[in-house]
Structure 1
Amino acid sequence: MSPALAEAAPGLARQGLEVLFPLLEGARPESAVALYRAWIAANPGAPQEFAAWFNLGVELGRLHRHAEAEAAYREVLRLSPRLEPAALNLGGTLEAQGRRAEALAVWDGALQPLPHRVMLLNQRGRLLEEERRFAEAEASLRESLALDPAQPDVVQHWLHLRQKACIWPLYRGEIPGQSLAELALQSGPLGILALTDDPDLQRRSAAAWLARKAPPAPRRLSPERGYRHDRIRIGYLSSDFCRHALSFLMAEVFERHDRREFEVFGYCSSPEDGSEIRRRVVAAFDRHVPIGALSEEAAAARIRADEIDILVDLNGLTKGARLGALRYRPAPVQATYLGYVGSVPLPELDWLLCDDHVIPPGLAHLYAPRPLPLGGLYQANDSRMPALPALSRAVEGLPEDAFVLCCFSHHYKITEAMFGGWMEILRRLPQAVLWLVEDTESSKSNLLRHAAAAGINPSRLVFAPRAEPAHYLARFTLADLFLDTTPYNAGTVASDALRMGLPLLTLSGRAFASRMAGSLLKALGLEAGITADLESYVARAVEFATQPGLLAEARLACTRWAARIGDGAGFTRRLEAAYRRIRLPGC
Structure 2
Amino acid sequence: MLLRLVKNLFARPATSAHSSKPISTQEQAQTLFHRGDFRSAILAYRSYLEEFPHDVLALNDLGCCLANTGDDAGAAAVFDQAFSLDDAYLPVVVNHAKAIADRQMSGEALPYLRQAKVYDADFYASDAVLGAIALAMGNAELACQRAKRAWLASFDNLRLANCYLLNCAYHDIDEAQLAAEHRFWAETLAPRAQADDAETCDASLTALPERSSKIRIGYWSPDFRNHSVRYFFRPLLENHDRDRFEIVLYHDIPKSDEYTARIREKADHFIDVSDLPDARFVALIRSHQLDVLIELAGHTSNNRVNLLQECLATVQLSGLGYPPTTGLGTIDGKFLDIHLADADSARYYAEMPLVLPNSFWCFDPMEEAPIEPVPAAVRNGYPTFACIGNIAKIGDRTLACWAEILHRVPDARLLLRSISFNDPAALDAMRERVGNAGIALERVDFRGPAGGADFFASYNDVDIVLDTYPFNGGTTSCFATYMGVPIVSLAGKSLISRMGRSILNNLDLADWVVDDAAAYVERAVAGAADVSFLARFRVEARERFSRTALGNGKLFAEQLEHSCTELLQAKRDGVPCHEDAVAPLPAQELVRRAYGVLRFGQYEAAQRIVDYCLRAYPACGTAHILNTQRLTADGKYDEAAAYLLERVEGFDAGDRFAVWVNIARFQLLLGRDEECRKVVALAATAVGEDASDRAQLRMLETCLKVRAGNRAVAGARQPSVAAMRIMVLIVVDDPAAFERKRDDIASRCELPAGVGLDFLRCSEQHKTRVYSAVLREPSADIVVIVHKNIDIHSASFFRDVVSTLAHCDLLGIAGARSWDRLDWRHSPADNKAASFMVPSGEKEGCFEMQQMGLERSAAVHGLSVLDGSVLALNRARLAGIAGLGEFDPLLEDGAALMEEDLSHRAHLAGLRLAVHQSLGVVMDWRLALRNQHLGEVRWQLTQHYGFDPLTLRDEDRTIISVPVGSPDEGVAVQQLFFEDSV
- In the alignment, the residues of structure 1 paired with residue 438 and residue 219 of structure 2 have an alpha-carbon distance, to the nearest angstrom, of 50
Does 156-165 or 308-317 show the bigger shift? 156-165
- In the alignment, the residues of structure 2 paired with residue 306 and residue 102 of structure 1 have an alpha-carbon distance, to the nearest angstrom, of 40
Corresponding letter in the other structure for 2:228: A
- In the alignment, the residues of structure 2 paired with residue 453 and residue 577 of structure 1 have an alpha-carbon distance, to the nearest angstrom, of 50
Task: For residue 461 of structure 1, report the CA deviation from its aligned partner.
Answer: 2.0
**Residues 7-60 of structure 1: CA deviation (Å, up to 9, x unaligned):** xxxxxxxxxxxx986x6566767xxxxxxxxxxxxxxxxxxxxxxxxxxxx999
Conservation of the 8 A alpha-carbon contact between 2:172 and 2:395: no
**Equivalent residue, structure 1, for 2:397:** 417
1:560 corresponds, among 526, 536, 544, to 544
**Equivalent residue, structure 2, for 1:292:** 274
Corresponding letter in the other structure for 2:558: R
- In the alignment, the residues of structure 1 paired with residue 110 and residue 185 of structure 2 have an alpha-carbon distance, to the nearest angstrom, of 20
**Equivalent residue, structure 1, for 2:412:** 432
**Residues 402-432 of structure 1: CA deviation (Å, up to 9, x unaligned):** 3111121111111122123223322322222
Gaps of 5+ in 2: 1-16, 27-43, 65-73, 151-159, 198-209, 576-982
Corresponding letter in the other structure for 2:474: G
- In the alignment, the residues of structure 2 paired with residue 259 and residue 59 of structure 1 have an alpha-carbon distance, to the nearest angstrom, of 43
Conservation of the 8 A alpha-carbon contact between 2:60 and 2:82: no
Task: For residue 571 of structure 1, report the CA deviation from its aligned partner.
Answer: 0.7
Corresponding letter in the other structure for 2:513: I
**Equivalent residue, structure 1, for 2:138:** 166
Task: For residue 527 of structure 1, report the CA deviation from its aligned partner.
Answer: 1.5
- In the alignment, the residues of structure 2 paired with residue 444 and residue 101 of structure 1 have an alpha-carbon distance, to the nearest angstrom, of 31
The verdict on how the C-alpha distance between 1:313 and 1:271 changes in structure 2, with shifts beyond 3 A counting, is: same
**Equivalent residue, structure 1, for 2:300:** 318
1:129 corresponds, among 71, 85, 101, to 101
Gaps of 5+ in 1: 1-18, 30-57, 74-84, 111-115, 179-183, 222-226
Q: After superposition, where does 1:486-505 map in structure 2 within 5 Å?
A: 486-505=469-488
**Residues 352-379 of structure 1: CA deviation (Å, up to 9, x unaligned):** 1111322323222331122211122111
Corresponding letter in the other structure for 2:547: A
Is structure 2 residue 381 aligned with structure 1 residue 405?
no
- In the alignment, the residues of structure 1 paired with residue 426 and residue 50 of structure 2 have an alpha-carbon distance, to the nearest angstrom, of 36
The verdict on how the C-alpha distance between 1:65 and 1:541 changes in structure 2, with shifts beyond 3 A counting, is: farther
**Equivalent residue, structure 1, for 2:319:** 337
Conservation of the 8 A alpha-carbon contact between 2:488 and 2:524: yes
Corresponding letter in the other structure for 2:98: R
**Equivalent residue, structure 1, for 2:261:** 279
Largest Rg, 1 or 2: 2
**Equivalent residue, structure 2, for 1:113:** none
- In the alignment, the residues of structure 1 paired with residue 358 and residue 62 of structure 2 have an alpha-carbon distance, to the nearest angstrom, of 55
Corresponding letter in the other structure for 2:567: I
Higher relative contact order (CA 8 A, sep 6+): 1
**Equivalent residue, structure 2, for 1:63:** 49
Is structure 2 residue 560 aligned with structure 1 residue 578?
no
**Equivalent residue, structure 2, for 1:12:** none
The verdict on how the C-alpha distance between 1:166 and 1:324 changes in structure 2, with shifts beyond 3 A counting, is: closer
Task: For residue 170 of structure 1, report the CA deviation from its aligned partner.
Answer: 4.6
**Equivalent residue, structure 1, for 2:458:** 475
**Equivalent residue, structure 2, for 1:538:** 521
Corresponding letter in the other structure for 1:204: A
Q: After superposition, where does 1:113-262 map in structure 2 within 5 Å?
A: 122-123=94-95, 126-134=98-106, 158-167=130-139, 170=142, 188-210=164-186, 215-218=191-194, 230-262=213-245
Conservation of the 8 A alpha-carbon contact between 1:160 and 1:412: no
* TM-score of the aligned structures, taking structure 1 as reference length: 0.73
**Equivalent residue, structure 2, for 1:459:** 442
**Residues 145-167 of structure 1: CA deviation (Å, up to 9, x unaligned):** 78988777765654453232024
- In the alignment, the residues of structure 2 paired with residue 308 and residue 191 of structure 1 have an alpha-carbon distance, to the nearest angstrom, of 33
**Equivalent residue, structure 2, for 1:301:** 283
**SS across alignment from 1:583:** helix
* TM-score of the aligned structures, taking structure 2 as reference length: 0.46
- In the alignment, the residues of structure 1 paired with residue 144 and residue 557 of structure 2 have an alpha-carbon distance, to the nearest angstrom, of 47
Conservation of the 8 A alpha-carbon contact between 2:168 and 2:178: yes
Task: For residue 460 of structure 1, report the CA deviation from its aligned partner.
Answer: 2.3
The verdict on how the C-alpha distance between 1:324 and 1:59 changes in structure 2, with shifts beyond 3 A counting, is: closer
- In the alignment, the residues of structure 1 paired with residue 121 and residue 471 of structure 2 have an alpha-carbon distance, to the nearest angstrom, of 27
**SS across alignment from 1:582:** helix
Please report the RMSD computed on the Cα atoms of aligned residues, expressed in angstroms. 4.4
- In the alignment, the residues of structure 1 paired with residue 314 and residue 63 of structure 2 have an alpha-carbon distance, to the nearest angstrom, of 45
Conservation of the 8 A alpha-carbon contact between 1:310 and 1:334: yes
- In the alignment, the residues of structure 2 paired with residue 103 and residue 63 of structure 1 have an alpha-carbon distance, to the nearest angstrom, of 16
Q: After superposition, where does 1:508-547 map in structure 2 within 5 Å?
A: 508-547=491-530
The verdict on how the C-alpha distance between 1:214 and 1:444 changes in structure 2, with shifts beyond 3 A counting, is: farther
Corresponding letter in the other structure for 1:133: M
**Equivalent residue, structure 1, for 2:769:** none
Conservation of the 8 A alpha-carbon contact between 2:127 and 2:146: no
- The alignment covers a number of residue pairs equal to 505
Task: For residue 328 of structure 1, report the CA deviation from its aligned partner.
Answer: 4.2
Q: After superposition, where does 1:59-98 map in structure 2 within 5 Å?
A: 62-63=48-49, 69=54, 97=77
Conservation of the 8 A alpha-carbon contact between 2:249 and 2:270: yes
Conservation of the 8 A alpha-carbon contact between 1:383 and 1:566: no
